[in-house]
Amino acid sequence: MVGKRHILTKKTAPYVFISPFFILFAIFMVYPIIYSVVLSFHDVKQLSQLNFIGLGNYKLLFDTPRFYRALYNTTYYAAGMCLLNVILGFLIGLMLTWKHVPGTSFYRASVFLPVLVSTVIAGAVFRLILVDTEGGFLNYLIGRFGVPPQNWLDSPRWALKSVLALGFWRSLGLSTVYFIGGFQSLPDDLYEAAHIDGASPMQQLRYLTIPLMRPIIAFVSIVTLIQAYLVFTEVFVLNPTGGSARDTVVTLGYYLYESAFRFFKLGYGAAIGVVMTLIIVVLSIIQLKLLGVFQNE
Amino acid sequence: MLSCAAILVILLLASGSVFAAKKVTLEFWTFVSDHQQFYELMAEEFNKAQSEYEITLKGTTIPVEQMHDNLLISLIAGVGAPDIVDVNIQYSGMFFKQNPEYFVDLTDIVEGYRDVMNNARLTVYTDPNGRVMGLPTHLGTGVMYYNKPAFDAAGIDIDDIKFYDEWVEAGKKVTRPDKNIWMTAVENKLARQFLLWTMQKGGYMIDPQGNLTVNGPKAVEALQFIYDLVHTYKIATIAPGGLVGDPSFYDLMNREHVLSLPYAQWFTSRFKNFMPDLAGKIAIRPLPLWEPGGFTSATMGGTGTAVVASSPNKDAAVKFLEYAKLSYEGNVRIWTDLGFDPPRMDVYDDPRLMQPDPYFNNEPALQAIKAGAERLVAKPVWPLSTEVMMKLNRDTLYNVLEGNQTPQEALDEVVSELGGK
Amino acid sequence: MKPRRISIVLTVAVLIAISVVMIFPFYWMLISSFKPIGRIFTVPLDVFPREFTLVNYRKLITQTPFLRWYFNSIFITAAYTVLALFFATLAGFGFAKYDFKGRNVLLVIVLASMMIPLHSLVIPLFMLLIRLGWVNTYRGVVIPFAANAFGIFYISQYLTTVPSDLIDAGRIDGCSEFGIYRMIILPLLKPALGVLTIYFAMTSWNWFLWPLVVMRAESLFPLNVGLSTFISDYRQRYDELMAASVLCVVPIVALFLSMQKQFVSGLTAGSIKS
């Protein structure tokens, strides 16, 4: 005991405590971040053979239509995720915190359950439901209404929307929980005052609830946006070839994987990674700004 | 006394190790479960046929795209690669052209079989320096499958169909769009039929300097033909799922909604496995010709089986592959067990290959190939990088058949996007 | 004021409809797992089970490395969670309760690193792993991410609510610095550990891209990577896949139902990251 106290003084202890973390952090985080930027300026023919090509990878990237399609698809997906999560999360949260609704814990659990399912498994079930023949459940269902079977997974019309449906199914529960938390912390007295002033429920929603909920709305939208920009597994599971649905589902994350690990263009892949990082950093700064501003109010 | 005993023991041990076969476990990756079963069977035969090695083949079947991703990552990492691997022709550009150093050079073992092998097919797996990197599994000859009773009923003798315009005319007679009955089906997710027709027309996808010329006149004609089948002559449907290897296509063909199919010879096993109701009805004929004296066919698809250079057992792996893929017996088994047209041409006279097959109109299934084998085009597709193949599969066919690009525009786009690489 | 009855009924109807949509994939997974493969796609579709078979489960267990993958997933999850908790609590404590040179700079770096997406690290990390010889190993999957910036952030935030008097009292009683961590801080951190455990465990249980690249041998695949090999455009193994899905989902749902609160806070805590 005594010896220990000699080694770890109040002065040295914090360094000892944080060092295991920072050793790992330096090796597996700081170094790869720097190395990924370095790689993005190289053509990697073999692991040990890096040819410096300056901005070559970036030039090629910005000249390749597939990159723009990936950027477009990712943005479409992220915007869709953001809108759906905010609007539906808000509405469901509102309904679930309405004190006159019986049995809310059941609905709450059922909205939350998909959060627990890993993307691969969720994707497998979605594939089964979305199979393009008459034997797929969704086609069977719409067939009952006389609609011909659709190619949900492969057609340019539906493929990305199917990916979006999968992502949304898995994320709605979390967004709803945030909104529920927000609604529950709204001050009751304000509503009573509004009620006495004769405000209708719609007016209360518009002039009271939505402004009060703005921080939560901002938070959910930006968190969803950032997560959604990284989408990879959803695409990989629903379209293993990434090509069966043409360019309609390729996302930045998928394009990176494909470039690096299917076509062995590690430098090019690293450049995609750097672009993705920049997008995320900008979004994160916006998030911090938004949330920071709200804290000061 | 003791030392005598020791020497005796050593001698016994030594003799044991000299005469006993070396036990080797070979790991094998493929994307077709039939291949796995075939090689496992061939491993047993191999063990009986020689005494140097006693191999145990550990096969793994992984979906095609993941298997190749996995292979690439393992090769780069230098960890976890198998000893023997099936490389799909679409990926041969990626592996045999761009990264040949990861595979064992098989040129020497092939030398002894040059006379009997279909050399064009070997070229498919030869790298830019003339080294053979993979051994073919089949010829993959394009043939025409006819639902014979349907044509008989329409008063058409399939043996009279010699040229594509005759085939199209026959198609116009038997196609009934109102009943969802079609002369044929085209794929829009795989460029196999497109490449088949391009090559059968005498076209090719690169020029001698190695530049991408997939927008050349023959290719444009071939793509236009596919377009015309669907939209001008209206005798073809797009295969459900975009692939004739899709279960929903099997179902459509099985229910006699598609009456003829230009496809690879190896598709015979798909008929037998997945389209039981067509037994006895399907007749196999050579492809029609584009013009008198034209090429009889071209090869479709392909799998090059390669030995990984870092394998600790590559000698055993090479010996095994030689037995399974180049030997006479192996090639007979490629037909009898796998149902593929063997790449070794001298086995076609073997009675085991010319057995009448009750499923295929009670005719020998391979006779259509034997007939035209000498005017068959087999050109490597690996000069097309894997990316070009994937772009053709992914965009080109779709944009022409269901989008609004003309064949020329769609193929120009491929060249402008990927021609520089 | 009591709202009109009709609006309550409508709200409940909408909620029921939403619940049905959200729950339906679970239902479909479950009944498909008991259908023989021949009946999974056949028209007319059995929306309610007609035949009941365990053959999919038997095939899954006997003909695929499913159990091995299950073990791998559990092992990776457990190892990662324990390691990440250890590093995060120790360093979080260091940051929250000590004043030292460079503290603020380091904290900013750690926080800033939370913005970096995994995707941009995969390629350099993979090349690093090759050099370390860690490809195709458990440690290769687990260790690179064990220094979790969010964990530090969460712990140090949590500890700011703990009065420093407790620590000083510990020192006066003769506790070593490490003793303070073990005897005073860890017990205090219990609620935070619960939240982080769920967060780390769920994160690592769901990992896909990283083990997909690192694990080369089928026998080392975690569930997600293994099961993804059942999915192909050319060959669909939905029978085994659905049985596997049920076996993966049921334990987690059971855990969730028994500790809903921890789950919800663990998973929502996670999203504050980035």
Of A6-10, A93-97, C87-91, give the lowest mean pLDDT range.
A6-10
Please give the structure tokens belonging to residue B90.
Answer: 């679409």
Residue A30 DSSP class: I
Q: How far is CA C210 from the centre of its chain?
A: 14
Say if C99 is an interface residue toward chain B (CB within 8 Å): no
Residue B268's beta-bridge partner residues? Answer: none
Per-residue pLDDT at B123 = 81
Average pLDDT, chain B: 87
The secondary element (H helix, E strand) that includes residue A173 is: helix A159-184
B99 contacts in chain A (CB < 8 Å): 264
Number of Cβ atoms within 10 Å of the Cβ of A157: 12
- Taking the C-alpha atoms of residue B188 and residue B400, their distance in angstroms, rounded to an integer, is 9
What is the chain C residue with the closest CA to B245? Answer: C234
The whole-number pLDDT of residue A1 equals 43
pLDDT tens for each residue of B313-346: 999 999 999 999 999 999 999 988 888 889 898 8
Question: pLDDT tens-digit profile of B27-56?
Answer: 999 988 888 889 999 999 999 999 899 999
Residue B15 inside a domain? The answer is no
Are residues B284 and B149 part of one domain? yes
- pLDDT of the residue at A297: 39
Nearest Cα of chain C lies from the Cα of B393 at a distance, in angstroms, of 13
Q: Is B312 helix (H, G, I), strand (E, B) or coil?
A: coil
- The 8-class DSSP code of residue C137 comes to S
**Does a structural domain hold residue B124?**
yes
* Chain B: residues touching C (Cβ < 8 Å): 31, 33, 60, 62-66, 70, 73-74, 76-81, 243, 245, 247
Compute, in degrees rounded to 10, the torsion defined by CA atoms A82, A88, A89, A95. 170
Sequence-separated (6 or more) residues with CB below 8 Å from residue C181: A17, C89, C90, C93
| Cβ-based contacts under 8 A for chains A and B | 50
Domain ranges of chain A: 2-39, 57-296
In a domain? residue B309: yes
Residue partners of B244: CB distance under 8 A and separation at least 6 = B185, B187, B253, B261, B263, B267, B270
Interface test with A, best of B62, B76, B416 (most A CBs within 10 A): B76
From chain A, the residues in CB contact with B94 under 8 A are 262-264
**What is the average pLDDT across C75-81?**
97
- Identity of the residue in A39, A107, A195 whose CB atom sits nearest the CB atom of C19: A107
At B165, the amino acid letter reads D
Residues of chain C with CATH 1.10.3720.10: 64-272
List CB contacts of B416: < 8 A, sequence separation 6 or more.
none
| Shared domain check, B130 and B93 | yes
Q: How confident is the model at residue B188 (pLDDT cuts 50, 70, 90)?
A: confident
Residue B233 lies in a domain: yes
State the pLDDT at residue B119. 80
Question: What range does the domain containing B87 cover?
Answer: 22-138+301-353
For residues A280 and A208, the answer to whether their CB atoms sit within 8 Å is no
Contacting subunits of C (3+ beta carbon pairs below 8 A): A, B
Are residues B64 and B29 both part of a single domain? yes
User: Cβ separation of A243 and B240 shorter than 8 Å?
Assistant: no
Q: What percent of chain A has pLDDT over 70?
A: 94
Closest chain C C-alpha to B231 CA, distance in angstroms: 27
Say yes or no: C136 contacts chain B, CB-CB below 8 A: yes
Tell me whether residue B2 is in a domain. Answer: no
In our burial notation (b when 16+ CB lie closer than 10 A, e otherwise), range A212-244 reads bbeebbbbbbbbbbbbbbbbbbbbbbbbbbbbb
Residue B130: predicted pLDDT:
85
What phi, psi does B403 have (nearest 5°)? -100, -150
CATH number at residue B329: 3.40.190.10
Counting as contact any 3 or more CB pairs under 8 A, the partners of A are B, C
Q: Does B62 touch chain A (CB under 8 A)?
A: no
Q: How does DSSP classify residue B308? A: B
Q: How many angstroms separate the CA of residue C118 from the nearest CA in chain A?
A: 9
Residues linked to residue B131 through DSSP beta bridges, in sequence order: none
The per-residue pLDDT for range C158-185, each reduced to its tens digit, is 998 888 888 888 888 888 888 889 889 9
Same domain flag for B29 and B75: yes
Q: What does the block give as tokens for C274?
A: 């980035």
**At CB < 8 Å, which residues of chain A contact B?**
47, 64-66, 132-133, 154, 156, 240-244, 246-247, 261-264
How many domains is chain B partitioned into structurally? 2
Confidence label for A3 from pLDDT (cuts 50, 70 and 90): very low
Q: How confident is the model at residue A72 (pLDDT cuts 50, 70, 90)?
A: very high
Q: In 3D, which of B192, B217, B224, B238 has the Cα closest to residue B384? A: B192
pLDDT of B306: 95
CB-based contact, B100 to chain A, within 8 Å: no
DSSP per-residue letters across A250-290: --HHHHHHHHHHTS--HHHHHHHHHHHHHHHHHHHHHHHHH
My answer on whether B90 and B191 are in the same domain is: no
- Smallest CA–CA distance from A170 into chain C, residue: C22
Among candidates B247, B251, B387 on the partner chain, residue whose Cβ is nearest the Cβ of A263: B387
Asked if residue B329 and residue B284 are part of one domain, the reply reads: no
Residues of A in contact with B242 (CB under 8 A): 154, 244
DSSP A63-125: H-HHHHHHHHHHHHHHHHHHHHHHHHHHHHHHHHT-TT-TTHHHHHHHHHGGGGS-HHHHHHH
Q: How confident is the model at residue B13 (pLDDT cuts 50, 70, 90)?
A: low
B173 and B55 share a domain?
no
| Alpha-carbon distance values, A275 to A51, A61, A256, C222 (Å) | 20, 10, 10, 30
- pLDDT of residue C51 exceeding 70: yes
**Min Cα–Cα distance to chain C from B63, Å:** 6
Worst-scoring range by mean pLDDT, A23-37, A195-209, B406-420, C230-244? C230-244
| Beta pairing partners, B145 | B261, B284
Chain B residues with CB under 8 Å of A47 CB are 76
Q: Tell me the β-bridge partners of B383.
A: none
Q: Do B80 and C135 touch (CB under 8 A)?
A: yes
Touching B: C residues 204-233, CB under 8 Å? 213, 216-218, 228-229, 231-233
Structure confidence by residue, pLDDT tens digits, A101-115 = 888 889 999 999 999
Tell me the range of B361-370, B377-386, C122-131 where mean pLDDT is highest: C122-131
- The Cα–Cα gap between A227 and A215 comes to 18
Residues whose CB is less than 8 angstroms from the CB of residue C254 and which lie 6 or more positions away in sequence, other chains included? none
Beta strand segments in chain C, E: none
Claim to verify: residue B173 and residue B291 sit in the same structural domain: yes
Asked if residue B12 belongs to a domain, the reply is no
Distance from CA of C61 to the nearest CA of B (A): 17
Q: Is the pLDDT of residue A268 over 80?
A: yes
Judge residue A37's burial from the number of C-beta atoms within 10 Å of its C-beta, 0-12 exposed, 13-18 middle, 19 or more buried. middle
Note the CATH architecture for domain C64-272: Orthogonal Bundle (1.10)
Select from 3.40.50.10800, 1.10.1040.10, 2.130.10.10, 1.10.3720.10 the CATH code of A57-296: 1.10.3720.10
- C136: which chain B residues are within 8 Å (Cβ-Cβ)? 77, 79-80
A16, A118, A256 member nearest C205 (Cβ):
A118
Are the Cβ atoms of B63 and C216 closer than 8 angstroms?
Answer: no
> Inter-chain contact C213–A230, Cβ cutoff 8 Å?
no
- Render the burial of C208-235: b for 16+ CB within 10 Å, e for the rest: bbbbbbbbbebebbbbbbbbbbbbbbbe
Using CB atoms, which residue from A64, A154, A261 is nearest to B69?
A261
Of the candidates A28, A100, A266, the beta carbon closest to that of C123 is on A266
**If pLDDT is split at 50, 70 and 90, which confidence band does B377 have?**
confident
- Mutation site for A-interface testing, chosen from C1, C7, C15, C164 by largest number of A Cβ within 10 Å: C15
What is the spatial distance between Cα A217 and Cα A297, in angstroms, rounded to a whole number? 16
